[in-house]
Amino acid sequence: MIFGYWDFHFIICFSLVFLTDAVPDELPQPENLTLSWSTKRFSVTTNWNKPSGLEADCTVLYEIHFYSEKCPPNAAAVEKWRVKNVNHWWYTDVNEVCVSITTIPDKCGNKTQSKSLLKDLSRPQGVVKDFTCVYYSDKKMNCTWTIISNASNLQLFYGTNPTNLKPCVSYNDTGSTRTGCYLHDEKFLEGDTFFIVNGTLKGLPIQSNFIRKISNFVKIMPPKIRITRNGTLLRFQSSPPGFNKHCWNYEYLYRKCDEDAKNLRGDDDWSASVDYDEACRYTVQVQATYNCGKGNSSMSLPEYYGENRDLNWSLKVTSIVIPIVVSCCLIVALVLIRRHKDYLFPKIPEPSAMFKDMFNGNKDKGLEDAKLYVPTEDMVEKKISLEPEITFLHIEP
Ligand SMILES: *[C@@H]1O[C@H](CO)[C@@H](O)[C@H](O)[C@H]1NC(C)=O
Ligand SMILES: *[C@@H]1O[C@H](CO)[C@@H](O)[C@H](O)[C@H]1NC(C)=O
Ligand SMILES: *[C@@H]1O[C@H](CO)[C@@H](O)[C@H](O)[C@H]1NC(C)=O
Ligand SMILES: *[C@@H]1O[C@H](CO)[C@@H](O)[C@H](O)[C@H]1NC(C)=O
């Protein structure tokens, strides 16, 4: 009787399973899920217990989904992992953490994965927000932030190793509060950089944590362009980048006369060449882009070369205008010559008149000349006589 009873139930159950095709042989959920911050709060650690009631020959894995919001999550997971252990940790600087853990079969017959177990964790109140950095030159960057609480004694600590942070030495102040820091001499571009900004609020320590992949925050000054003519080519040469030279592309933007601007990729030596048109003014700009991460320079200020010249116009000038101008000049010249011909071509005095002058006026003219010359001779004599004679003579040789 008893066996029959159980057989009956088993058949019902089995057929239900078979009919609905949906009641799965689900694995049990993990148990006692906990989340915690590490001491410096750069990482979250999660622990759980293996679900009780697992069959002995059943091996399972755990799938972890990490969301950066409160549970239950709406957005997609930031990261996912599958692990064998019953704990896991990872770096994060988000303010809200939600974690879901699911038991999934490894070698466990036809068992299906468990329902997910959720847990969340919030970061304690921070001291600053909007933490941004700019890597602007080799081994140099500056980071800035906005204060969110009235904390005092703000300090920044930073480093590529979260367990070994250095203090900021060059703060950027706005009024009486520290709002930024200039940082030097670190291998910022290689991995993540860890930052703590801490202070005291109402006598208690308070801090904010940030993790930044600095290679995504590169912003340099635009390169400088030199334009030179090389035969029939015009060559644009830019100053090379100051660091990680293999990581940069230079893109030229140039305009010739009034044509549309064109793009041109710089070569390995940061230069580019175009055919030169002497009748055109060239306007050239360049922008550098960082490929080993994210970054660029802004577009450089324009550099110019040559002048716009209308060659057809100059042809017109030579073939039409110049002859007209020349003819006008000739006409004017002729008119002027006619008007002033008496002055320009004085009448040649008749030889008879000349001889008359010679014989009649010669004496008078000679006397006049002599009279004019005498006063100058007098002046010279006077001047010399003013100087002490002896001294003058001694110096002269
Ligand atoms: C979960 O924690 C409770 C109380 O600490 C404990 O009794 C229980 O055994 C734990 N579960 C597992 C599967 O270890
Ligand atoms: C898994 O299910 C199939 C049919 O769905 C069955 O043939 C197989 O024996 C089952 N395997 C185990 C290990 O239970
Ligand atoms: C970097 O420093 C300059 C000059 O002090 C400042 O104007 C700028 O906002 C800073 N930017 C960042 C993101 O640190
Ligand atoms: C900030 O952190 C440093 C290093 O951990 C510590 O020496 C300092 O006292 C902290 N500042 C405040 C105001 O808590």
Q: If you write DSSP's letter for every residue of 145-186 in order, what string do you get?
A: EEE-S--EEEEEEEESSTTS-EE-SEEEEETTEEEEEEEESS
Contacts with 387 (C-beta within 8 Å, 6 or more apart), sequence order: none
Select from 29, 31, 33, 86 the residue to mutate for testing ligand 1; criterion: most ligand atoms less than 8 Å from CB: 31
Residue 372 pLDDT > 90, yes or no? no
The pTM (predicted TM-score) of the whole model is 0.71
Q: What is the separation of C-alpha 301 from the centre of its chain, rounded to a whole number of angstroms?
A: 12
Q: Going along 185-331, which residue ranges are E strands? A: 192-201, 204-213, 218-220, 225-230, 233-238, 248-256, 262-265, 271-275, 282-290, 295-297, 303-305
Average pLDDT for residues 261-288, to the nearest whole number? 94
Instruction: Determine the pLDDT at residue 393.
Output: 44
Nearest CA-CA partner of 284 in 245, 338, 229: 229
- Pure H helices in the chain: 2-20, 311-316, 322-339, 341-344, 351-386, 389-395
Judged by its nearest atom, the ligand closest to the C-alpha of residue 108 is: 2
Whole-angstrom distance, CA of residue 143 vs CA of residue 183:
8
**Nearest-atom index, ligand 2, CA of 110:** 1
Residue 350 CA neighbour count, 13 Å, CB half = 3
Instruction: Determine the pLDDT at residue 277.
Output: 92
Q: Whose CA is nearest to atom 13 of ligand 2?
A: 109
Greater confidence, 175 or 27?
Answer: 27
Residue 275 pLDDT > 60, yes or no? yes
Contacts with 57 (C-beta within 8 Å, 6 or more apart), sequence order: 107
Judged by its nearest atom, the ligand closest to the C-alpha of residue 40 is: 4
pLDDT tens-place string over residues 201-251 = 999 999 999 999 999 999 999 999 999 999 999 999 999 999 999 999 999
Instruction: Determine the pLDDT at residue 320.
Output: 64
Residue 43 pLDDT > 80, yes or no? yes
Q: Whose CA is nearest to atom 10 of ligand 1?
A: 32
pLDDT tens-place string over residues 163-213 = 999 999 999 988 888 999 999 867 899 899 999 999 999 999 999 999 999
Average pLDDT for residues 301-320, to the nearest whole number? 77
Select from 127, 198, 200, 208 the residue to mutate for testing ligand 4; criterion: most ligand atoms less than 8 Å from CB: 198
**CA angle centred on 344, ends 343 and 350, rounded to 5°:** 75
Q: Which of 46-50, 107-111, 337-341 shows the lowest mean pLDDT across its residues?
A: 337-341
Whole-angstrom distance, CA of residue 153 vs CA of residue 151:
7
Tell me the CA–centroid distance for residue 108 and ligand 2, in Å. Answer: 11
Judged by its nearest atom, the ligand closest to the C-alpha of residue 105 is: 2
Instruction: Determine the pLDDT at residue 208.
Output: 96
Average pLDDT for residues 119-136, to the nearest whole number? 95
Residue 364 pLDDT > 70, yes or no? no
Judged by its nearest atom, the ligand closest to the C-alpha of residue 31 is: 1
pLDDT tens-place string over residues 318-355 = 666 666 666 766 777 777 778 877 777 666 656 565 55
Give me the chain's average pLDDT, please: 83
Average pLDDT for residues 37-64, to the nearest whole number? 93
Whole-angstrom distance, CA of residue 72 vs CA of residue 252:
50
Whole-angstrom distance, CA of residue 328 vs CA of residue 334:
10
Tell me the CA–centroid distance for residue 297 and ligand 3, in Å. Answer: 15
**SS3 for 265?**
strand
Cα-Cα-Cα-Cα dihedral sign, residues 88, 94, 95, 97? negative
Tell me the CA–centroid distance for residue 355 and ligand 2, in Å. Answer: 152
Whole-angstrom distance, CA of residue 302 vs CA of residue 305:
10
**Nearest-atom index, ligand 2, CA of 109:** 13
Q: What is the separation of C-alpha 279 from the centre of its chain, rounded to a whole number of angstroms?
A: 33
Residue 394 pLDDT > 80, yes or no? no
Greater confidence, 135 or 4?
Answer: 135
Tell me the CA–centroid distance for residue 105 and ligand 2, in Å. Answer: 14
Band of pLDDT at residue 20, cut at 50, 70 and 90: very low
**SS3 for 7?**
helix
Whole-angstrom distance, CA of residue 285 vs CA of residue 298:
10
Greater confidence, 155 or 12?
Answer: 155
Tell me the CA–centroid distance for residue 110 and ligand 2, in Å. Answer: 6
Q: Whose CA is nearest to atom 3 of ligand 1?
A: 32
- The pairing of strands 262-265 and 295-297 is unpaired
Residue 80 pLDDT > 90, yes or no? yes
